[in-house]
A and B are shown apart, each in its own frame.
Chain A
Amino acid sequence: MAYSFYPGCSMEATGKAYGVSFEAINKALGLEAKDIPDWNCCGATVVANVIGDFPQQAITARNLALAEKNGAGDILVGCSSCFMNLAWVNERFKTEPEFAQKCNEALSAAGLQYNGTLRVRHLLDVLVNDIGLDEIKARTIKPLEGLKVACYSGCQTVRGVRRPDFDDVERPKVLGQIVEAMGATAVPFTHAARCCGGSQQFTNVNMIYDLTGDVLEAAHQAGADVIVTPCPMCHMNCDAYQKKINQVKGRNYDMPVFFITQLMGVAFDLKVKELGFEHNIVSPQKILKRFGL
C-alpha cells in the first residue's frame, strides 16, 4: 500500500496532535503515505466565499495534478475539510467533462493537468477498507476494554462527496467499527455527523457554543468517557472550546477529545510521546491512566 498524503495546513498547527499521531500510525501500519510534494492549501470551506467555487476548485486541483504526476498512489486525506474539497473536485473531474476541461485549462496556466486517475480517500475509508478491521484488531495490543467512546465522525467526513461513499451520510458507522475493533465500546451517539459550527469561532462564536455544546451534551448523555474524531475542526471546537462552553452554558464537561489516530496509538501500544497528547487541552490523563500510560 502506498498513498499520496495530503496533510493540510491544520496538521501543522491547530491539529498538530493529528499530524503527529498520524505519522505514528502511518509507520505502525505501513501505510507508506508520503506527502504530495509541494502541496498547497485547498482553501477550506471559506475561500469560495470571496473568490467563487471554481477558482478555489482549480487551486485545489493543483494538488490532484501534482499527486498524479508524482505517481505515489491514491490521495489519502486526514482533515475532513480538505477531504471535502479534494474529493469533491475529484468527483467533478470524473463526472462533469465540462468542468474537467475548464479546470485543466486553468491548471495548464502552470503547465499542469489532471486526468482524473486517482481516488481521494479519507483516512477512515482507508482504515476500514484497505487495512481492515481484522488487521486493526490484530494490531491491538492493549484492548480498550470498558472505554466508552462517542464516535464523532463529523459532517464533512461523511458528506464530503455529498453522496454515500464509504459511510452513511446521516448515521455513520465506520468510526464506531474501528473503535470497537480495538475493544472499546462505541456508545449510541446521535450527533456523530452533526456540524460543530466549523470555522465560525471568530465570526459567530455563539454558533460554536450552541452546536459544539449540543455535541458535547449528546456525548455526555450517551455516557461517553471520551470523544474520538478524525476531523481537526471538530477536535478544536470540542477540545479548545469545551471550557468556554462550560462557562457560557453553565455546564461541567470534562470530556477528553482524541483524534482517532491517538486512540489507535494507545491500542497499538505505540510510544505515548509520539501521539501528541501534549497538544490536547482537556486533559487526556484520566483516559491514559486507565491503560497504564
Chain B
Amino acid sequence: MAKKIGVYVCTGCGIGDALDIDKVTKVAEKEYKCPVVRTHAHLCGKEGVELIKKDLEGEEGVNAVIVAGCSGRVNTDVFNFGPSVMVERVNLREHVVWCHPANDEDTDMIAEDNMRMGIVKVQKSELPEPYIEEGIVKTILVVGGGLVGLTAALEAAAAGYKVVLIEKEASLGGWVAKQYKQVALRPPYDELRENDIQDIIKQVEDNPNITVYTSAKSEGISGGPGIFEVTINQNGNTVKEKVGAIVLATGAKPYDATKLAHLGFGRFQDVVTKDQFEEMASSGKITRPSDGKEVQSVTFIQCAGSRDPEHLPYCSAECCVGSLRQALYVKEQNPDATAVIIYKDLRAAGQYEFLYKKAQSEGVVFIKGEVVGVNEAGGQVSVEAEDVVRGETVQVDSDLVVLATGMVPTTAFGEEELTVEVKEGEEAEAAAAAADTIIRSDILNLQYRQGPELPSLKYGFPDSHFICFPYESRRTGIYPAGTVRAPMDVRAAIDDAAGAALKAIQCVELTAKGAAVHPRALDFSFPEFNLSRCTQCKRCTEECPFGAINEDEKTYPLPHPTRCRRCGTCMGACPERIISFKNYSVGMIGSMLKNIEVPEEFEEKPRILVFACENDAIPALDIAGINRLEYNPWIRIIPVRCLGSLNLIWIADAMSNGFDGVMLLGCKHGDDYQCHFVKGSELAEIRLSKISETLDRLRLESERVQMRQVSIMDYDQIPKILDEFAEKLEELGPNPMKDF
C-alpha cells in the first residue's frame, strides 16, 4: 500500500512561541510534498488526537503519521493508532526548543532538519510484519528441582502454563531438602520453622500441569523461544519435549572445603562444613566426629572461602543467616552449650534482624574479626582470631568448628572455552570483543553456534544485568533464577523463582505474537538477511550477543528470529550491509543523514552528527532538555537501537556529506557494562578504531569521530560533552570534504 504521510506539528509546550512554525511545515509541504500537513496547539489533547484520527479514517486516507512535538518517549499511548498505522515522532521539544534559544535561525534549522529526517525515515520504513513460528508451545521447562525450581514450576503452573521439570538427582528438593529447619518467611521472624520442602514437592508432584523427570538431564536443546526442543535423558532413556521458555534453577554447590586447610578443614576431624553440620542436626544429634560426643561448644567461622581474594571474592549472601540458624540448633540441643560466631560483617538484613536478636538472646556470642589460625588444644579445636572490637588476638576453644562455606554456581564447573575462535589479523580485536566465555557445565547443552551453555561474565555466574534486567541471560528465553544466578538466601531465591517464571511467561506470550522480549518488548520487526549477497564472513554469527544466529550446512548464517532481541548488532557488523529490519536499516539511516542540510563552509555553521543510543543516551538528551540545559546548535541527533547497530558506512556517508564531526553516544561497556544489548557499545568502539585509519588516509583527522559513554544519569554532562566536541572541531577547522 502506498504511503500517505500526514504531518502534524504541535505548537504547544512553547514550541509555537520559540520556532518559526511556517519553516517547519514548509519542509513537509514543499520539500517532501506530504499530502497532509497540519498544526495544532495541543496535539496530545483529545481534539488533537481526533484531528489525526479524522485524517486516518476520512477521505484523506492518511496511513503514516508524523507527530512533530514532544519526545517519542512520552505520550506513546496517545499517539498509537493501531498496528496498521506507522507513527514517527519528530522531536521539536526536548531536543530543540527546550535546549536552544527561541526565535533563532539556528534553532529553526534544527527543527527543519529533524522534520526532514522524520519524513525520510517514514519513507524508507515499512510496517513490520510479525514473525510467527509454526507450532509455538508455551510450556515452561524448569531445569533443577530444588526450592527455586519447584517454586518456579508452581508459579508457572498456577498461571496456567504447562511445566516440564527436570532434576538430576533421584529425588526433588535439592539443597533445602537437606536442611534441618528453615528460616521464617512470615512472622514470627525470630523462630525457626519446620522444613516444609516435602509439602512443596508434593504440590509439584500432584499438579497435573507439571511433568517431573527425576534422575534426568538435558542432553540437548535446539530451536529457540517458543520452539525449543529438549532431549531429556532419564536413567538412560531419551525423551523429547517441546517447550517455549526455560527457567534455569540448578543452584549452587558449596565451595570446596579441602581448599580451606588454613581453617582446619582436613587437618582436624572436628572441623566440618556447614552442610556437614546441617546433616548432623537433621540426623538428630550434633556430635563431634572425632569421638561421637555431644557438643558443648561450637564455633562458626563466617566467610569460609568467601570474600577472600584467594578463594571466592564475593559474598555468598546466605551464610550469615545460615549460621544464625545453626547456632540456634546448638542452643536447641543444649541451652547451656556455647555457640560463637566469628564474622567479618553480620549480613542479616531485613527481617533476619529478628533472628539475629533471637540468637543473641539465646546467648550466642558474636566476634567481629578475621580468623588467623586454627589449631588443636587439649582435645578441642582452638580458633585464633583478630577480634576487631577488642583490638587483640583472641582464642576460642570449642568442641566443634563449623565453616560457613560459600556458594559456587553449578554453571561454574566445567571446561572454559570462548565462543569465537580468536584469529590473527585485522579482525582479531572485534572477534575478541565478541567472544564470550562459555563453561561446559553440562547443564543445558544448547545446540547453538556460540556454545552449549549460557555465557558467563564473572565467577561462573550466567551473565545478565543484575540491576536492569535480572533473570535475563544472554540466551533469549532462558532465565536463570536463584543461587545459580547470584548468591542469595532462601527468601530472595523464592522471589527469584517467581520473577524468572514470570519472565518465561512473558517470553512465550510475546514470542507467540511474533514480538521481541525486553528491552524491545512488543517490537515486531526482525532482521532479514539478503543471503544472495552474503560472503559468509560470519561476523553476524559471532557478534550477535544473544547467539541468535547459527550456521547452516553451507555455513551461511541461519537466523533464529525468536532468539533475536532486535538490537541490530548484526546489521552493524555486516560489511556487505545485507541485514535490515523493515523499519530500521542501513539505507534508512544513511538517507536520514543525507537529508540533513549541511551549510556551505562560508556560512560558518558547522554540522555535527550524533548517533545516540535509544536506551540511555536519548533519555539523557531528553532530560537535558527537560532541565533546559543548553548546548550548541550544530548538533543533529539520530537515535539508534543500540550502538551495536552502527554500520561504518554511516560515518563515511556523514564525512562525505560535509559533517564536521560525528559523535557516538552509547552505554558504558566493560565488566560492569550498562549496554542493554551487552556488547553493542563495546563493538561500536572497536569498529570505530578501525575507521580512524581510513579517516587518516582520507586526510581527515580521526578526532572528528568520537565515542562517549553516557548513562541516563549523565544528562547534566550532555552540554559539556557536546560543546567540548564542537570546540575541538572548531580547532580542526571545517571538514575539507564540505565543498566536494
The answer to whether A and B touch directly, with their CB atoms under 8 angstroms apart, is no
User: Which B residues lie at the A interface, using CB under 8 A?
Assistant: none
User: Which A residues lie at the B interface, using CB under 8 A?
Assistant: none
